[in-house]
Amino acid sequence: MTQPLSNALTHLDAQGQAQMVDVSAKEQTVRRAIATGRVRMQPETFTAIETGNAPKGDVLGTARLAGIMAAKQTANLIPLCHPLPLQKVEVNLIPDAELPGYRIEATAKTRAETGVEMEALTAVSIAALTLYDMAKGLEKSIQIEAIHLVEKSGGKSGDYRTAL
């Protein structure tokens, strides 16, 4: 189900200046978001990562940890983003020989006044960038693609699931 676009620009005050949205009156609810993306590479690069033969070491473990750490730092990276007490961040790098490459999926969960979509998207983005960094010695043409929100639940706007 898609959400209608709102005419209200919540991150601007009456003078058009950027502001952090006041969520203090909102009810705390359980919020969960799932984001995904892809990292496409040459078959030889994919094989080297899968067999543990990348020159920088554990590509997938490092990318997974980087994604988790990034989700926890989202408010420091994105202006006006609320710092959230994350209760769960999970990052999975799923091998896909058809790409070839990896599908990255991140889940973020909290109980708070605002959602965790940005945390899930940040986790996917940084996991993908870390995978690139760890494998760029094998291939410079690795492509990061299609990072997007898959679903979210909780909060006033309700549930969302992408139509993709």
Q: Going by C-beta distance under 8 Å and a sequence separation of 6 or more, which residues neighbour residue 125?
A: 37, 70, 144, 147
Neighbours of 36 (CB within 10 A): 21
What residue has token string 């909290």?
A: 110
List the alpha helices (DSSP H) in 12-162.
43-50, 59-72, 74-77, 117-135
Active-site annotation holder among 13, 58, 96, 133: 133
93-108: buried (b, 16+ CB within 10 Å) or exposed (e) per residue?
A: beeeeebbbbbbbbbb
Handedness of CA 46, 163, 125, 28 (dihedral sign): negative
- Is 29 strand, coil or helix? strand
The yes-or-no answer on residue 96 being catalytic is: no
Do the strands 160-161 and 29-40 form a parallel or antiparallel pair, or are they unpaired? unpaired
Catalytic residue numbers? Answer: 133
